[in-house]
Structure 1
Amino acid sequence: MELLLNNIENNLNNQNKSIKEEDQKGFIETNIGKTINFGLDIGLRALLPNFIEEQIIDIKDTILKEGFSEGIKKVISSAMDFGKSTLGIFTGNFENISQVQTAVKNGGIIDGASQLIDTVLNKTVKKGVIPYGIANTIKRGKNVILNSVTNKIEEEFNNQLDAAEKLQKYSNNWKQYYEKQDFSGMEREYEKIKEKLKILIPIETTINEAKKIENMHTLIKNNGKQFNLTEEEIKLANLLN
């Protein structure tokens, strides 16, 4: 138990340190990048309905390899920085998901993606890797792709907000089971909490609260699922003040 307490104390020291700005930014940019990738895929399928699966994949892969993949990373990074500045966040992390959503909306990602599509398609035509007719069809129907990207981004943030709401619910449920000393109920909610944390944007208050639950849960589990913890152990877990 002493070793466990030392591990928990180290966890608490770590959780009190702020989430690194680059880690939060990296998570957001990766998620938005994947979302845009999905939007591009859906848009191309809508614009080229007579093309078979393999052809769509080849065209998409070519667009990604010829500069879209790297370019969109820069677009997202610049958009996030600009979006932050419009919120008055010049250093530090986002404090909630709504702030991230606003920054993405204000950052100009769609405009950047639009310009990037034109640039990449012009490049592919010059290199002869995508025929002019196909590239022209994509450029003329570019809004289909951009609308698809916009919809996928909105869907992602709806999922984020829903996950945050469910995480709060599961945390409250865990605390209620804790009060009843029902470890089976705690275990069910704890597993749900871990699943939601995998997909949520790392927000400091969210991570810290989850860590506190993890600490208390681990203490009780390693105490034979018995709740007869010392005051020191409970205080160390730093939960349910």
Structure 2
Amino acid sequence: MNRFKGKKAVVTGGTHGMGLAIVKALLMEGAEVVSTGRNEKKINEARQQLSTNTAHLFRSDASSITDIKELRKVVAERLGRIDYLFVNHGIAEIQELQQVTEESWDRQFSINTKGAFFTVQQLEPLINDYGAIIFTTVANDRIFPGLSAYSGSKEAVKAFAKVIAAELLPRKIRVNAVAPGFILTPTMGVAGLTEKDREEFIKQGNEVTPLKRHGTAEEVAAAALYLAAEATFTTAAELPVDGGFAQGISN
């Protein structure tokens, strides 16, 4: 398939996990991509995996307005105008009520919420009419203890998708979100997990997911690309990619 031949896209948080899977899928189908990450080691590892002149990887901190404005310049220089923007970056820290610190709260909201909003604000002028923006949120209808700050930050992003979709109707830019459940990634989306924690996290996720397994980063990428290229009559929607987790079904 070459759904994205000749198309140009930006993927934030695109150096590992779900973001990297989105980048790989876009490249495989012919797109040219600017991808960002904060960690230089992961950027270099991703660059080695991709090794193509149609992938441009840059360090950019989503919590920094200065970096986001610089990203806009980079995108304009490398790609000119773009067709798709995937706002995928995020961080989760598991802390119950009395453990949450101001620093942790600010870090999660700064990256997940402020970073998502201002990334769209800065890059929207570069998006072609009839383009698409896809946010990564989370399957938030069922919640585990310790995720108050993270869940709140992602609920805000869900709201952004709906409001920005309304604001961009005149330009026919569709704005949607993918909402992953338990997805197998190197970090499982949670900062600071030990290998033992990761194994327990995977076990719990398999037990509570109706399909009795974790999803893959490639499955999330497939949903994100569907919203970008094929869901041409869909906007302001959130697509669960969670094996039935948030829907509360059971067998």
Q: Assess same fold via TM > 0.5.
A: no
> Where on the TM-score scale, by shorter chain, does this alignment land: which range?
under 0.3
Q: Which has the higher strand share?
A: 2
Between 1 and 2, higher relative CO (CA 8 Å, sep ≥ 6) is seen in 1
Rg (Cα) greater in structure: 1
Q: Which has the higher helix share?
A: 1
